């Protein structure tokens, strides 16, 4: 009776072993499957053996397994720091999308599979925004970005989890920004890579990105083209990190003179002068000379009042006026930078 119970189990085990040895894996199919999925040699071989060299079935099974394993690894790897990664940009004449995806090491950032992930997520998000009503600017943080449907019944978090299973590092799609411009405006996109230029399926990648919306109004005088001006402005924005455009006609630039002290410093100085004119013996204190206030160096963060990167003899506002150009808006993104928390009203 025991023999009858064990016989089916034994037979299935033997048949499975025989089948795996009987299937001769086609080398061309193995190479093609590895290239398509980016999954390791042994797992690809196992899949082809299991499905008798049927590449489509083997690929489907591998991706399902990679996604399951990726979710498990992603959970285990949560909390590990991710300061590396890439920024991907896709654009047309009027709209552009920029996505930041982080990883743990620069080694993975240079990996073709990771770069393929950046390209796939960026292009998917670009299609998502292009299908939506035109918007001048919209940004998603991680939670909302993870949920973006990029086709084939997959969202961003699905693709990221699958890639975690392949590279074995913690990965995260951090943020996305989409910019649209008016028909009479010009959209410039600038990507800066620390090494060789990277482009996969129309997606340009690097460590820094600038999206710039400008317009030009000239009366026939000789000026630089809007293309030339915008490229120079993108490089300036990348290097000098302005936070806002500013109003060149109505605002005033930062003045770093001796009188330029913050209100807090001024209040503190006046309080100290009331109590430190003399010591207990009636003699004048020499604390004024020891604690003499130094001028406060303020940094100019408004674009139009910054010294122009390509001509320090003028500020950006003068360069714009000279060429009849108006900066409508810009976005500067640096991979791994600290993002200021949004203040909430109490």
End-to-end CA distance of the chain: 76
- 179: Cα within 13 Å, side-chain hemisphere: 25
Q: What is the pTM of this model?
A: 0.68
**Reduced DSSP (H G I as helix, E B as strand, rest coil) percent helix, strand, coil of the chain, to 5:** 45, 25, 35
CATH of 27-78, one of 1.10.287.3610, 1.20.1730.10, 1.10.8.10, 1.10.490.10: 1.10.8.10
Q: Has residue 119 got a pLDDT over 80? A: yes
pLDDT tops 60 at residue 320 = yes
Task: Identify the pLDDT of residue 28.
Answer: 83
Least confident of 32-41, 45-54, 179-188, 252-261: 252-261
Looking at residue 176, its pLDDT comes to: 96
Residue 255 has a pLDDT of 76
**pLDDT value at residue 22:** 55
Strand partners, 188: 212
Q: Tell me if 39 sits within 8 A of 166, measured CB to CB.
A: yes
What pLDDT is recorded for position 290? 53
| Average pLDDT of the residues in 112-136 | 90
40 C-beta neighbours (distance < 10 Å), count: 13
Question: Which residues, at least 6 apart from 276, have a Cβ–Cβ distance to it below 8 Å?
Answer: 285, 287, 288
pLDDT at residue 52, rounded to an integer: 87
Tell me the pLDDT band of 10, cut-offs 50, 70 and 90.
very low
How much is the pLDDT for 18?
45
Task: Select the more confidently predicted residue: 160 or 20.
Answer: 160
CATH 3.30.479.20 location in the chain: 84-250+299-334
For CATH 1.10.8.10, list the domain ranges present in the chain: 27-78
**What pLDDT is stored for residue 61 in this prediction?**
81
Q: pLDDT tens for residues 71-103?
A: 555 555 455 555 799 999 999 878 999 999 999
Q: Look at 17 and 158; give whichever has higher pLDDT.
A: 158
pLDDT digits (tens, 9 = 90+) for 24-63: 888 888 878 876 666 667 778 888 888 888 888 888 887 7
For the segment 295-304, what is each residue's pLDDT rounded down to a tens digit?
A: 566 789 999 9
CB 241: neighbour CB atoms within 10 A?
Answer: 14
**How many separate helices (H) and strands (E) can be counted in the chain?**
12, 13
Measured CA distances, 302 to 148, 298, 314, 324 (Å): 34, 12, 14, 19
Taking all residues of the chain, what is their mean pLDDT, rounded to a whole number? 79
Q: Which CATH number fits domain 84-250+299-334: 3.30.479.20, 3.10.20.30, 3.30.70.20, 3.40.50.150?
A: 3.30.479.20
Percent of the chain with pLDDT over 90: 42
The arithmetic mean of pLDDT across residues 252-280, rounded, is: 50
Of residues 327 and 291, the one with the higher pLDDT is 327
The percentage of residues in the chain with a pLDDT greater than 70, rounded to a whole number, is: 72
CB 86 within 8 A of CB 124: no
What is the arithmetic mean of pLDDT over 204-209? 96
């Amino acid at each position: 009776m025991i023999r009858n119970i064990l016989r089916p189990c034994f037979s299935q085990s033997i048949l499975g072993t025989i089948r795996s040895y009987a299937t001769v894996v086609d080398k061309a199919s193995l190479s093609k499957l590895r290239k398509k999925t980016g999954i390791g040699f042994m797992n690809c071989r196992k899949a082809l053996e299991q499905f008798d060299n049927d590449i489509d079935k083997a690929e489907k099974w591998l991706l399902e397994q990679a996604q399951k394993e990726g979710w498990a690894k992603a959970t285990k790897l949560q909390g590990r720091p991710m300061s590396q990664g890439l920024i991907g940009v896709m654009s047309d004449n009027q709209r552009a999308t920029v996505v930041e995806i982080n990883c743990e090491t620069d080694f993975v950032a240079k990996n073709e599979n990771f770069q393929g992930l950046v390209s796939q997520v960026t292009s998917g998000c670009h299609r998502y925004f292009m299908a939506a009503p035109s918007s001048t600017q919209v940004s998603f943080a991680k939670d909302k970005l993870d949920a973006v449907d990029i086709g084939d019944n997959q969202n961003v978090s699905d693709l990221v989890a699958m890639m975690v299973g392949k590279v074995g590092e913690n990965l995260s799609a951090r943020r996305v920004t989409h910019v649209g411009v008016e028909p009479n405006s010009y959209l410039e996109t600038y990507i800066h890579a620390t090494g060789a230029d990277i482009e996969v399926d129309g997606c340009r990648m690097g460590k820094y990105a600038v999206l710039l919306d400008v317009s030009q109004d000239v009366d026939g005088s000789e000026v630089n083209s809007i293309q030339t001006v915008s490229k120079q402005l993108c490089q300036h924005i990348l290097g000098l990190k302005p936070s806002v455009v500013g109003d060149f006609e109505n605002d005033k630039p930062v003045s770093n003179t001796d009188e330029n002290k913050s209100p807090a410093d001024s209040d503190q100085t006046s309080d100290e002068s009331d109590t430190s004119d003399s010591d207990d013996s009636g003699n004048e204190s020499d604390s004024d000379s020891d604690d003499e206030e130094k001028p406060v160096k303020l940094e100019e963060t408004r674009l139009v009042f910054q010294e122009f990167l390509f001509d320090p003899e003028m500020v950006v506002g003068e360069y714009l006026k000279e060429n009849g150009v108006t900066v409508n808006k810009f976005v500067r993104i640096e991979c791994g930078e600290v993002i200021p928390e949004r203040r909430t009203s109490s």
